[in-house]
Structure 1
Amino acid sequence: MNDGGLPAVLITAFAERPLQGNGAAVVALARPASSGWMQAVAAQLRQSETAFLLPLEGLLPEAEAAGDWALRWFTPSCEVPLCGHATLASALALGHWGLLQPGGTTRLHSRSGPLLVSLSPAAAGCAQLVLPSAGLEPSPLSVELGPLLGMTPLRSWRSALGYGVALLPPEFDLPSLDGEALAGQLPGELRQGLVLMQALGDSADAPALQGLKADYQLRFLAPGLGINEDPVTGSAHALVAPWWCDLLGRDRVVGWQPSPRGGGMVCDRLSSGMIRLSGSGQLLWDGRLSAGVDAAEPVDWSCCLPGPA
């Protein structure tokens, strides 16, 4: 894997068509790389996130690895503990490289624990991933948010992920929001992540995914993570999907993200409390990364080691 460079792809995740959705680069490592090297690669590739996959036997004896993978995510400016779209892209990349078969399942061990991913047995380019949901705690957000939006949110919450969440009235024009401009004006406590969401109700214009009409839509801003606006955000949907499930009285909801690139996912609440996200991805480019891993830098992937059974 080293002689000709490292396999690398760019996949637009949660995208029904090419050039929609959220771009994620995925790099397959042959051995553990340092945080500094991975951050430098992510800064050069300049996607919302770049995912780095390492066969788990690179960290554990093969008998304990069971064919699983270690996974880490980097924005252009920092490492993040959870990323949904780059996890979907990682599953699709493994399928593209012939390392995960249609209908197959594997675990990706991350800072947020083991994440189960699978490829659709029938639909090419479709995958599922199971993410934790951090839970929402009712909380007032910055008093500056209402004036910035020109409208007071109906309700607001905070979460363990560090995201603020605001429910907006149906009359607010969320698709027309200038996310880039708003991101630059957010107060400090909202810069790590702000979810702006609203119900779609019976709107005839609600988009459909996998034959199902979207129930809600959201926009996600995170200038503190180096991402003014994330086009489609799996972690944000996993966070708010349980609230929408409770509101609508069912365990499946469909979320849409009307950002300039747009995309969405089907969200299923599992009995474990985890959220299964189903979505499509599109391969944009396929190549090899020539920048060799710097063996002189210290390496620590202990964050991805499985915990006690």
Structure 2
Amino acid sequence: MKISIFQVDAFSNQLFKGNPAAVCPLNEWLSDELMQNIAQENNLAETAFIVPANEGYEIRWFTPTVEVDLCGHATLASAHVVFHELGYKGDFVNFHSPRSGLLTVTKRGAEFVLDFPSDTISQIDVEPIHSSGLSKAPRAVYKGKTDYLFVYDAEADIRALQPDFEALKIHPVRGIIVTAPGEKVDFVSRFFGPACGVNEDPVTGSAHTTLTPYWSSILGKTTLSALQLSQRSGSLTCTLKGDRVEIAGESVLYLRGEINV
């Protein structure tokens, strides 16, 4: 069986920046085992699989080791493929996730705008365990649906963190979001997810469903500029709209091909 595959650098307008995601358009769903094997073979943070349904697409996302509930950059990459490679007409496309519900992506000039559910976070006490795997302790800790949010004082703190990925696996969450006020943007972040097979994700769209409501409450504004401080780096514009978050970014195609399974 031959399957089309595309690789897109999301949240960037330059190749080799942003976050690379693979996208496999399908006519019908493959077995979970086969999709997981394809994602493992791709060895990217996420591989998205999409199937036409209800004038849009169903979507699922896999890291090299697990299926995940929500992935922003691979959804943006999927929209790039739908509009630019599959000839989709219109200004927006609806993706439906069995785990996260309706996800709409709107084409706005060179950008794609993701409409995702906002995370709900609660502050918890900073405990010694929260320093496990990190070179500096956070000053505040919040718990979201799937991740911890660790807050630091300055952008320099985020840049200087030296994570021990094995030690980070002790935390009972999908990943650790670390964040601080930005020097040239509203906020900066990094994302560590060794428990789900991604040591450091270059640009994490889903993490911004947690970051946006937090920084909106701190800064008193609903539209924020963001920078993820990975080696590849990525820029995002985030807007809080009630219980939804709009996350906007650009994308560029790296690869189109075919796999044999």
Structure 1 position 192 matched with structure 2 position 183? no
Q: Cα gap change, 1:43/1:245 in structure 2, threshold over 3 Å: closer, same or farther? A: same
Q: Distance in 2 between matches of 1:138 and 1:105?
A: 35
The alpha carbon displacement at 1:131 in A equals: 0.9
Contact 1:183 1:191 in 2 (8 A): no
Correspondence for 2:104: 116
The equivalent position to 1:129 in structure 2, one of 106, 114, 126, is 114
- Normalising by structure 2, we get a TM-score of 0.93
Q: In structure 2, what residue type is equivalent to 1:27?
A: C
Correspondence for 1:279: 249
Q: Distance in 2 between matches of 1:289 and 1:187?
A: 32
Higher strand residue share: 2
Secondary structure, counterpart of 1:184 in structure 2: helix
Q: In structure 1, what residue type is equivalent to 2:92?
A: T
Correspondence for 1:233: 204
Q: In structure 1, what residue type is equivalent to 2:253?
A: L
* RMSD over equivalenced CA pairs, Å: 1.8
Q: Distance in 1 between matches of 2:127 and 2:167?
A: 12
Correspondence for 1:222: 193
Q: Cα gap change, 1:77/1:187 in structure 2, threshold over 3 Å: closer, same or farther? A: closer
Q: In structure 2, what residue type is equivalent to 1:167?
A: V
Query: Which ranges of structure 2 fall in alignment gaps of 5 or more residues?
Result: none
Q: Distance in 2 between matches of 1:171 and 1:97?
A: 38
Q: What does the per-residue CA deviation read over 1:58-108, in whole Å, with 9 as the maximum and x for residues that have no partner?
A: xxxxxxx2x11100000000100100110000100111223334x611110
The alpha carbon displacement at 1:150 in A equals: 4.3
Q: Distance in 2 between matches of 1:9 and 1:172?
A: 36
The equivalent position to 1:178 in structure 2, one of 141, 145, 162, is 162
Structure 1 position 155 matched with structure 2 position 137? no
Q: In structure 2, what residue type is equivalent to 1:188?
A: I
Work out the percentage of aligned pairs sharing the same amino acid. 31
The alpha carbon displacement at 1:7 in A equals: 2.0
Q: Which moved more, 1:37-46 or 1:246-255?
A: 246-255
Query: Which ranges of structure 1 fall in alignment gaps of 5 or more residues?
Result: 57-64, 207-213, 292-309
The equivalent position to 2:16 in structure 1, one of 4, 10, 19, is 19
Structure 1 position 41 matched with structure 2 position 11? no
- Normalising by structure 1, we get a TM-score of 0.79
Q: In structure 1, what residue type is equivalent to 2:61?
A: W
Q: What does the per-residue CA deviation read over 1:125-151, in whole Å, with 9 as the maximum and x for residues that have no partner?
A: x21111112211111355133375443
Runs of 4+ in structure 1 off by over 4 angstroms are none
Q: Distance in 2 between matches of 1:191 and 1:128?
A: 27
Q: In structure 2, what residue type is equivalent to 1:48?
A: A
Q: Which moved more, 1:19-28 or 1:244-253?
A: 244-253
Q: In structure 2, what residue type is equivalent to 1:194?
A: I
Q: Cα gap change, 1:142/1:34 in structure 2, threshold over 3 Å: closer, same or farther? A: farther
The alpha carbon displacement at 1:178 in A equals: 3.2
Correspondence for 1:53: 50
Q: Distance in 1 between matches of 2:208 and 2:63?
A: 19
Contact 2:134 2:162 in 1 (8 A): no
Q: Cα gap change, 1:46/1:70 in structure 2, threshold over 3 Å: closer, same or farther? A: same
The alpha carbon displacement at 1:44 in A equals: 0.4
Contact 2:126 2:139 in 1 (8 A): no
